Amino acid sequence: MAEQKKEQSKSMTKWLATAIIAVLVIAIVVVIIIFTQQSGNLNRDLDNANTQVATLQGKVTNLQSDVSSLQAQLTQEKAKTQQLEGDIRESEGQVALLQRDVASKQSTVDSQAATIKTMKYPRHFSTPEELANWLQKDNTNTLYPNPTVAQKMLLALTLQIHAARDGYIICTNLPTGGLLDLVTNRAVVGDVIYEIRPWDDFAQKWNNIPAIPSYPITPESGQ
């Protein structure tokens, strides 16, 4: 009886051991299956991550290429800007030169216009002092140190022209009888006519006349 119970106990123990082993085996199998599934999921996630990384790397490469292209364009634009700034400075220099040239020419034009106006509206000398001062400044008497008869005629005409250029009225007086060595100039000062020798600037009173206007034609007349 005791032996029978002992055998039954041993049989029960074996069954329990077998059952426990079976349960462990099943558990291990389940764990393996779960791990395999998780490993597959992880592999898929890893593949997806690798794909995303590759995509991002491609985008980074494209962005780097864009940056390089933009830097090259920026360098070109800077070069163009420097060139334009140089052109602007050169143009400004040329404009300044042109402005100075225009100002100089305008000054010349104004001066010539004033001279033309003076020549267009000549006048008589206002005072004997004015006549004497002008004769002193004029160089006609130095052109021929020892003038011949013909040169005296030229000096008289030259003095008349010089006076006209300065806006004064001086006439050439041709002597009667063809005596050119007696040629002189005459100038009106107020109511007096002065006779002038053009070869030595000697001036003396020649005659009195009624007082006449200083300007035969005034600038205001517009004639």
pLDDT tens by residue, 108-129: 655 655 556 556 899 999 999 9
Distance, in Å, from the CA atom of 117 to the CA atom of 165, rounded to the nearest integer, reads 10
Q: Which residues of 85-103 are buried (b: 16+ CB within 10 A; e: fewer)?
A: eeeeeeeeeeeeeeeeeee
Summarize pLDDT for 20-60 with one digit per residue, the tens: 887 787 878 777 777 777 777 777 877 887 888 788 788 87
**pLDDT value at position 97?**
79
Query: Could you read off the pLDDT of 162-175 as tens digits, one per residue?
Result: 999 999 999 999 88
How many angstroms separate the CA atoms of 220 and 223, rounded? 8
- Percent of the chain whose pLDDT exceeds 90: 37
Helix segments in the chain, DSSP class H? 2-120, 128-137, 149-165
Q: Please report which helix (H) or strand (E) contains residue 170, including its range.
A: none
d(CA 190, CA 205): 12
